[in-house]
Structure 1
């Protein structure tokens, strides 16, 4: 039986959390390999103290099969889980990008400059972690999403000892301005922890570092896949070689409190979808992005 944990169900506008309701749920996260296979996951037995399940990266075609069975269901988000096939080789992959994307990445890298350092061993992680951790504290990923680089250096070094992590820093005049830290799951490297100094956002340090990191990974030929994980973003769409249509599915026990919660989440999500379409029609994406990130 899988253990249940307290999971925050957020009412969010972009990266801003307006309010949060918590439920004890069993998480069912699908790996990239499972999402690409497209099969229906088997839900574990639900502990007595659990209110339901949260299945993430569920292939969209399988969502209907998990609904029902006396549970209240809600699709919290739909997205493409993007990935990159690292067997393509850097030159073939880069040539497959749109001309605008190629030119934009070259222009950003030339304008920004800087030094990129790669870290992979336990000793190197001891150098990487304090620099990246200090940078992470200034990023919107940590301030607004609580998704910064973890404090646990020992865990990072344990992964490094097993050759199961890669990390990078982009430095300008010796100052870290972007970081990327990717643990591995088998032959797949996972886009887990990322951020950049907001002071340098106009120079696109994250995109420059991502390109340099992918160049390293293609040259190393250690991993087969780069997993951009849940959620979408322009850089993921631009750099991926493929993707799987996925959903995050919330399943709750049928109680009055959970019915009210499902209704509130569904109404809020519909309102946000309408607002997003209105912003797109008005061409105000830039203003909305600044509001969402603070």
Structure 2
């Protein structure tokens, strides 16, 4: 998806993301992009196979330059987490041990609480091929396990980071249904505006012979009003609908209509509201 919001404030905070022995520069770049999407900014690499810096990583980061430029390289996992007060280790498979295991939603809430308390935190992600070793998991305080298909549990490293980054961002919202974007705020139209539109529609339909047989008109009008009062139209929406009706009113059944209009009904054809 294209980014058309570069004039908005950049969110760059939260837990450190630590990649242990990542292999491909492209994967590191996609991790940086995922982090930037959801407001994370500090990336640490433990002994990257192809070295650092990486042109391939920068290209794959898709303008997440603020993450790429701050990325640091460390010789060991212990060194990468030395200044952090709390660390999660991510894994998609069962582990033996005594550490608490959290789902991503709960883990993100824990990280948010610690972040608000001023504590430095981090999330460990393992290698593309086999993830974190048991020794590396033992360095963390707790484990995050993703609810994946047991028969196909391997995640791409960027996907794993994306999942945790998303949960991190969501944990800071007032409501889990909230998003960073919203549509225009529009108030429902006043009832007099709505009723005037419905009168206009009824007159236009009557002129076209819609209410047949005549004795059914009250019920048909009642049904129309029940349907059209349900959506809570705004002033702009009612204006649009009245424009449509006015356009249709300009043409009589015997006059040529605009390009693309459906052909006239043949004489004797029944209306959808006719009996029989």
Q: Same fold (TM over 0.5)?
A: no
Point out the structure with the larger helix share. 1
With normalisation by structure 1, the TM-score equals 0.24
Structure with bigger gyration radius = 2
Relative to its length, the structure with more strand (as a share) is 1
Larger relative contact order (CA 8 Å, sep ≥ 6): 1
